[in-house]
């Protein structure tokens, strides 16, 4: 990393009080919930201060920030702005897919058997409508493309899959999987929460139809906000499972409220629900500015460089076994490892102010842009003590 970029990351680190101050911690749980940065906190404070009186307009500033979120979210995933909508969480976009796609009795939906539950329950609910849900067996707890191909039948209509597996950081080969889906006339739905903001993704290259990403993890935003993508070519065929008065274009002129005949937006905004959580909208926009200022490719390089240091140590200490896949194409900003006393070690790390989590018997280290090499050294020092 060149000096200018390293300085930029250093400056961004200062925006996260968790890294310094009176009670600093070493934070490695971005795959859980990311800490709030100073800029986002200031914007939330400003908005909630305004709520004491409501004597100034907050609608127009919030709608401008929503436009920025859609535009920047599109940039993050290689989409067009009219394909992006504001959603409250990952489940919002996944439910939009499950109940918006025109599935009928006898159709099949394919899921991995190692999915996070948010990408399971919207789909299993469809069983009440006669739609079949099939789980693709993983291999060594990693998604298996060959088994996926063998699972496809004439009735298969959807594959819904995580970009990055939550418990071991396995990054799926979305490009190859998307090609298979398109060739087989299967809708490709992606849960992107565990990668978006830290790992590059291109919905065009990967031929994704619908993507959903909550923003509270790698997008460093408050709980209760996120965004979704709906490919323009399927927007006219995707049902709106719910409707909102803000899904139509009032052109910010709210003086004709008895007009009940306005058509929905000709964009992904027609799937949005209002009214919006303005405080979180302002905060989310600030976090997007931070991520955009560094660039996701640079963030990925930064994260992987730090993880490389940890990998080198873990491979040198026979007490530890890496449970993540280290193939370059499957690496993400998550690394997992285990040992004979993983639960005890996890509790010890927490007591030392090293914030991580344990998933499926492995300690999960999720590295992101506020981290630096000193954080990794702190972790390694603790691991040496066991």
- pLDDT at position 293, please? 98
Say which range, 12-26, 76-90, 124-138, has the weakest mean pLDDT: 12-26
- Show the domain range for 89: 59-293
Same domain, 13 and 140: no
293, 315, 331 - which closes a domain? 293
Number of domains in the chain: 2
17 and 129, same domain (yes or no):
no
CATH at 18 = 3.90.1150.10
Segment 75-116, tens digit of pLDDT? 999 999 999 999 999 999 999 999 999 999 999 999 999 999
pLDDT > 80? residue 227? yes
Pair 309, 261 in one domain: no
3-class DSSP state of 111 = strand
* Alpha-carbon distances of 139 from 143, 178, 210, 322, 324, rounded to whole Å: 6, 20, 26, 16, 13
133 and 279 within one domain: yes
- Residue 250 has a pLDDT of 84
**Is 118 within a domain?**
yes
Residues 313 and 175 in one domain: no
**pLDDT value at residue 253:** 80
Q: What is the mean pLDDT of the chain?
A: 96
**The CATH number of the domain where 85 resides is what?**
3.40.640.10
In this prediction, residue 256 has a pLDDT band, given cuts at 50, 70 and 90, of confident
Provide the pLDDT for residue 349.
Answer: 97
- Same structural domain for residues 246 and 175? yes
Q: What is the pLDDT of residue 274?
A: 85
CA-CA-CA-CA torsion sign (156, 161, 163, 167): negative
- Predicted pLDDT at 268: 97
Instruction: Please tell me the predicted confidence (pLDDT) of residue 165.
Output: 98
Say whether both 258 and 309 belong to one domain: no
Name 320's Cβ contacts closer than 8 Å, sequence gap at least 6.
314, 337, 338, 339, 383
**Residue 71 covered by a domain:** yes
Residue 147 within a domain: yes
Determine the average pLDDT of the residues in 353-357. Answer: 97
How many beta carbons lie within 10 A of that of residue 128, not counting itself? Answer: 7
pLDDT in tens, 310-340: 999 999 999 999 999 999 999 999 999 999 9
* pLDDT recorded at residue 6: 93
pLDDT of 163 over the 90 cut: yes
Q: Evaluate whether residue 160 is within a structural domain.
A: yes
């Amino acid at each position: 990393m060149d000096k200018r970029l390293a300085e930029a990351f250093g400056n961004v680190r200062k925006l996260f009080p968790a890294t310094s101050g009176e009670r600093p911690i070493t934070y490695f749980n971005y795959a859980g919930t990311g800490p709030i940065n100073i800029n986002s906190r200031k914007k939330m404070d400003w908005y909630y201060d305004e709520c004491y009186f409501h004597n100034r307009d907050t609608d127009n500033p919030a709608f401008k920030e929503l436009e920025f979120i859609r535009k920047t979210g599109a940039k993050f995933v290689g989409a067009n702005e009219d394909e992006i909508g504001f959603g409250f969480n990952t489940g919002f976009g996944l439910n939009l897919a499950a109940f918006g796609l025109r599935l009928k009795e006898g159709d099949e939906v394919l899921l991995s058997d190692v999915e996070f539950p948010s990408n399971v329950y919207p789909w299993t609910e469809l069983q009440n409508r006669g739609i079949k849900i099939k789980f693709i067996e993983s291999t060594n707890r990693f998604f298996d493309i060959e088994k996926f191909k063998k699972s496809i039948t004439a009735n298969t209509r959807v594959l819904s899959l995580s970009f990055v597996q939550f418990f071991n950081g396995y990054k799926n080969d979305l490009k190859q999987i998307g090609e298979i889906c398109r060739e087989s006339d299967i809708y490709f739905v992606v849960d992107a929460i565990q990668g978006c903001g830290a790992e590059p993704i291109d919905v065009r290259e990967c031929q994704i139809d619908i993507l959903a990403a909550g923003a509270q993890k790698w997008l460093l935003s408050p709980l209760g906000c996120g965004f979704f993508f709906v490919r323009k070519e399927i927007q006219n065929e995707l049902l709106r499972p719910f409707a909102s008065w803000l899904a139509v274009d009032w052109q910010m002129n709210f003086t004709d409220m008895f007009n009940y005949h306005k058509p929905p937006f000709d964009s992904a905004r027609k799937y949005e629900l209002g009214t919006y959580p303005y405080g979180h909208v302002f905060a989310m926009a600030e976090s997007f500015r931070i991520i955009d200022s560094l660039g996701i490719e640079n963030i990925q390089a930064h994260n992987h460089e730090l993880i490389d240091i940890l990998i080198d140590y873990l491979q040198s200490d026979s007490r530890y076994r890496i449970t993540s896949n280290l193939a370059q194409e499957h690496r993400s900003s998550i690394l997992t490892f285990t040992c004979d006393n993983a639960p005890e070690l996890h509790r010890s790390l927490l007591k030392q102010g090293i914030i991580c989590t344990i998933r499926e018997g492995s300690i999960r280290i999720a590295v992101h842009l506020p981290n630096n090499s000193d954080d990794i050294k702190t972790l390694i020092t603790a691991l040496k003590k066991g």
